[in-house]
Amino acid sequence: MKRLTNKRCNGIKEGYWSQAKKEELVQRLAAYEDTGLEPAEIQQYRAIGTVEECRAAVEKQNPKKPDYESDGDADGYHVYDTWICPNCGTRYEVDYDDYKYCPECGQAIDRCEEE
């Protein structure tokens, strides 16, 4: 963001000054007012994180089915002994690492088809 104002730093006066023309300042102020947000609210949104980060966090709460990997066959049946987090790719051991959420990234895991 290109600032139109500068903080006074001469120690005599406080506040801000600007070289910009009044019309430019009015347009910039209008753009901020059109957001409908107070400056404190904008700071709060910044603290929460970006829209993309929030979307990713919500996305992780939707359970996803893991990928399974078999180590080989036993009596003609596939033996799935590894499940892989669909979000971060961390590998876990079936029947041993039984998590509802990936400990590495927090992705919700849908394991209901596994029997």
Of 66, 83, 85, 94, which one interacts with Zn ion (CB under 5 A)? 85
Does residue number 92 form part of the binding site for Zn ion (CB under 5 A)? Answer: no
Considering only 88, 91, 93, 97, the residue that binds Zn ion (CB under 5 A) is 88
> Which of the stretches 11-19, 60-68, 76-84, 97-105 binds Zn ion when contact is defined by CB under 5 A?
97-105
Token digits of residue 78: 């596939």
Q: Is 57 a residue that touches Zn ion (CB under 5 A)? A: no
Residue 100 CB, nearest approach to Zn ion (Å): 12
Contact yes or no for 26/33 (Cβ under 8 A): no
With b meaning 16 or more CB within 10 Å and e meaning fewer, what string describes 2-20?
eeeeeeeeeeeeeeeeeee
Whose CA is closest to 85, among 70, 73, 97? 97
Q: Is 84 near Zn ion (CB under 5 A)?
A: no
Token readout for 27 is 């347009």
CB-CB contact of 108 with 98 (8 Å):
no
Choose, by CB under 5 A, the member of 105, 108, 111, 114 that binds Zn ion.
105
In the chain, the DSSP E strands lie at 6-7, 16-17, 67-74, 77-84, 91-93
Identity of the residue, 94 or 102, whose beta carbon is nearer to Zn ion in the bound complex: 102
Does 87 contact Zn ion by CB under 5 A?
Answer: yes
Binding site for Zn ion (CB under 5 A): 85, 87-88, 90, 102, 104-105, 107
